[in-house]
Homo-oligomer: A and B are copies of this chain.
Amino acid sequence: MDGAAALPKVSVQREDFDLGAEQARLAGTSRDIGAIVSFTGLVREITGQGAIESMELEHWPGRTEKALAEIVAEAEARWPLNGVRAIHRYGRLAPGDRIVLVLTASRHRQAAFDAAAFLMDYLKIQAPFWKKETGPEGGRWVDARDADETAAARWRTASEG
């Protein structure tokens, strides 16, 4: 894998990321990858409280990286992955900005799709990030969505039920 093992699987950073470069790095010189799925999450302008001007992402330094690493390890235990990468930004973001990237590589497409969806579902409920939106009426902390609990629960049913 030409040193691919040395690539970080998880990053929590203020800076933006480059999808093309990250995917190229993940694929490396492998000839055994048949499928790569990426998920990019972006800041939407229109939210529950109308048009926002910006968003501030708070996190728990140290614990966040650990949470992402745990979720990545769980995905690697569940699916045969040739590679996996998760990047989550924090700090001040504007509408249209990228927030999160998840990349999964596997021999076959179903494993890559499922692992990427799993990573996003678990990240949503387990990684210690909190969003505060700033709109015309000031700042407002985003409420957690019941739908995110439901989305994550389907993976528990699939593996334990």
Contact = CB atoms under 8 A, between A and B. Distances in A.
A113 B32 CA distance: 23
Contact of A39 (B36, B42, B120): B36
The bracket for how many chain A residues form the interface is 20 to 34
A14 interface: no
Contact of A42 (B36, B38, B96, B117): B36
A44 B112 CA distance: 15
Interface of chain A, helix or strand or loop or mixed? mixed
A35 B41 contact: yes
A30 B31 CA distance: 36
A74 B38 CA distance: 22
A109 interface: yes
A69 interface: no
A31 B19 contact: no
3 tightest CB-CB pairs across the interface, nearest first? A20-B20, A31-B45, A31-B95
24 contacts: A18-B20, A19-B20, A19-B23, A20-B20, A20-B21, A20-B23, A23-B40, A31-B95, A32-B44, A32-B46, A33-B44, A34-B41, A34-B42, A35-B41, A35-B42, A37-B38, A37-B40, A38-B38, A38-B40, A39-B109, A39-B112, A41-B109, A109-B117, A110-B151
